[in-house]
Structure 1
Amino acid sequence: MSTASDNWLAYMDEFLTMRDGHEKTLTNAKMLRLIDLYYDALDAPKKCRTVEIPNDLKPRLFPHYMGKPKSYKSTSILGSIYDAVEEYQPEDTSDKVVEKLPCFDVEDLSEQCLKKWYELSTGVK
């Protein structure tokens, strides 16, 4: 199952950047065959069978975001999303001090206000 799905994803990545034409039609046909093999592989254990992926359905290279040894730099939307996520560096906020905003410094809360908040937070009237 995983081989069929990995191969399908590699062909889909190519498909996303291809222009219409004969090559795109061939790639589409390969993807459809891989889908059929994937579903055959899902049922294979129930029938005590194995599913082999033919060599003509195995891509020579995989998109870089799949982490395979033989890869190419993908320019598809999938490769672009992967690169954007990899480049993202979250801000280190471990040394930030969190303080209450001045607008929440209230000296005296009325009994009516406290009762209303209690009702809203608990659902009890």
Structure 2
Amino acid sequence: MKRKYEFTLKIAVPVRSAELEGWMGRLAEIIRNAGTVIWNGPVGVFEFESFHAGTQAIAHAVAGCKGFTLAGGGDTIAAIEKYHVADRIDYISTAGGAFLEYVEGKELPALAALEN
């Protein structure tokens, strides 16, 4: 079963430290207004309190997304559980690599066997 996806990504990466202020809010706004969000992997070392803010902001932005949300992978699930947003994400996969391969349209041997 092959799927075709087209993505348009419009995110500017700031280059001056003055532009870094407010980046988390701007990224969260983009995520919340997206038609579809595929989230695989936390940003930074969210397990440590000093470094959790980015992953927490993304978790809440994905949970508040107006579109369809998919999340996958063990570390992503750990973040979803830590920030209590699982009930607001449309689909959560425990398979990280296989999840990404499925979304990319690659054949997964176990699913292919079930289809045959």
TM-score between the two structures when normalised by the length of structure 1 = 0.28
Structure with the bigger percentage of strand: 2
Computing the radius of gyration from Cα coordinates, the structure with the larger value is 1
Q: Which has the higher contact order (CA 8 A, sep 6+)?
A: 2
Structure with the bigger percentage of helix: 1
